[in-house]
């Protein structure tokens, strides 16, 4: 698979793997060994970029990723995240105090089985801790050899600039897809100016853009989509126009809707690396083939014109979670 560079020289595969659903977030927890096999299958197919976080599980996802990648540690890039106070095994409030960061990173190093974390994101901006203090703390961890690169997740352009002035930010992670294009207004220009890579999560709209979900689909109460406004039956029905558009392009390009959604992201900037997630080998292989789907400028222009006539219905997060983004 082709490689791309994030920020200051962090080379990764053009498509990474979001590992959260392998142990958290989308219904009942999958069996461990098949998920280890899936991660290793991704490596065999050229994936070198794997995304996890302390809060996924919590903790169990880091351990799973660490075990799966131990045999190929020197061939891959592992990204994880800090920033939540996790009490009695359950995620609680945002906490990016310097002492909390340093303590939590020791746990991540042990669970991942590594001496240094390749890319460390602040999971969500902490309104009670100046971002300069966070950046400075990560800078100390980089100086100590415990972290190689610093990243931010769901941060505003102003926060990114302030953080980058203290410690170079290599990558920013936020939602970006054909049905969430808000980053185009201010975030992407800021990242381009500063030379920071962009890692879109939920590039397939949490599965909706694949065309496999409609208004009749049901979600388990342990599935994050169960509480997301955009996934109410009414919103799914209203948003079907977007899926139909993608399917039309896919038919013309002899590809699948998922591949078109990912190829569209790859065509936006050379420093964008999406991290689609899946628990199924056939979906993994389908997603990775998106790297060879070529969308011409004409294709992109036609998609943009069609998208301008489609209004997406429903918020992407419940209100209590939406307040934690874009700070």
| Tens-digit pLDDT profile for residues 16-37 | 999 999 999 999 999 999 999 9
pLDDT tens per residue across span 101-111: 999 999 999 99
Minimal CA–CA distance to 80: which of 103, 99, 54?
A: 54
Q: Is-contact 117 132, C-beta < 8 A?
A: no
Whole-number pLDDT of residue 91:
52
- Answer yes or no: is 327 within a domain: no
- Rounded (5°) CA angle 307-284-111: 115
The domain total for the chain is 1
Least confidently predicted of 163-177, 180-194, 304-318 = 304-318
* Domain CATH for 265: 3.20.20.100
Residue 321's pLDDT band, with cuts at 50, 70 and 90, is confident
pLDDT tens per residue across span 114-156: 999 999 999 999 999 999 999 999 999 999 999 999 999 999 9
For the chain, give the number of residues: 327
The CA–CA distances, whole Å, from 113 to 25, 47, 66, 150, 237 equal 23, 19, 6, 19, 44
Q: pLDDT at residue 100 above 70?
A: yes
| Coil, helix or strand at residue 255 | coil
Whole-number pLDDT of residue 322:
80
Q: How far apart are CA 238 and CA 227, in angstroms?
A: 17
pTM: 0.96
Burial of 264 (0-12, 13-18, 19+ CB in 10 A): buried
Q: How far apart are CA 138 and CA 149, in angstroms?
A: 9
Between 325 and 233, the higher pLDDT residue: 233
- Answer yes or no: is 269 within a domain: yes
Residue 323's pLDDT band, with cuts at 50, 70 and 90, is confident
Region 171-178: what's the mean pLDDT? 97
Q: Is-contact 84 123, C-beta < 8 A?
A: yes
Average pLDDT, the chain: 95
The CA–CA distances, whole Å, from 309 to 78, 183, 245 equal 39, 19, 11
Catalytic residues: 56
pLDDT tens per residue across span 45-99: 999 999 999 999 999 999 999 999 999 999 999 999 999 998 755 556 899 999 9
CA 209 and chain centroid, separation: 16
- Answer yes or no: is 167 within a domain: yes
Between 270 and 88, the higher pLDDT residue: 270
- Answer yes or no: is 85 within a domain: yes
- Maximum C-alpha span of the chain: 54
Whole-number pLDDT of residue 92:
64
Region 189-212: what's the mean pLDDT? 97
State which residues form the domain around 80: 3-322
Rounded to 10 degrees, what is the CA torsion of 244, 248, 249, 250? 90
- Answer yes or no: is 279 within a domain: yes
């Amino acid at each position: 698979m082709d490689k791309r560079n994030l920020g200051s020289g962090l080379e990764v595969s053009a498509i990474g793997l979001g590992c959260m659903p392998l142990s958290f977030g989308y219904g009942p927890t999958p069996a461990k060994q098949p998920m280890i096999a899936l991660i290793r299958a991704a490596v065999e197919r050229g994936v070198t970029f794997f995304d996890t976080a302390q809060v996924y599980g919590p903790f169990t996802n880091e351990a799973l990723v660490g075990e799966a990648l131990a045999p190929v540690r020197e061939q891959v890039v592992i990204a994880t995240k800090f920033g939540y106070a996790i009490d009695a095994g359950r995620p609680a409030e945002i906490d990016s105090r310097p002492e909390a960061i340093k303590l939590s990173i020791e746990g991540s190093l042990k669970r991942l089985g590594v001496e240094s974390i390749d890319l460390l994101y602040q999971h969500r901006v902490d309104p009670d801790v100046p971002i300069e203090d966070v950046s400075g703390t990560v800078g100390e961890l980089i100086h100590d050899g415990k972290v190689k690169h610093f990243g931010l997740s769901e941060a505003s352009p102003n926060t990114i600039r302030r953080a980058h002035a203290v410690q170079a930010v290599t990558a920013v992670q936020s939602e970006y897809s054909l049905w969430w294009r808000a980053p185009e207004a201010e975030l992407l220009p800021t990242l381009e100016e500063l030379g920071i890579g962009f890692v879109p999560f939920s590039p397939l709209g949490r599965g909706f853009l694949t065309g496999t979900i409609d208004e009749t689909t049901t979600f388990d109460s342990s599935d994050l989509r169960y509480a997301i406004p955009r996934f109410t039956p009414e919103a799914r029905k209203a948003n079907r126009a977007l899926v139909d558009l993608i399917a039309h392009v896919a038919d013309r390009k002899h590809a699948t809707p998922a591949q078109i959604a990912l190829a569209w992201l790859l065509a936006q900037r050379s420093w964008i690396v999406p991290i689609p997630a899946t628990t199924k080998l056939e979906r993994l292989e389908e997603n990775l083939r998106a790297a060879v789907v070529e969308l011409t400028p004409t294709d992109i222009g036609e998609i943009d014109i069609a998208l301008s006539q489609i209004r997406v219905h429903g918020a992407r997060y419940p209100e209590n979670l939406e307040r934690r983004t874009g700070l």
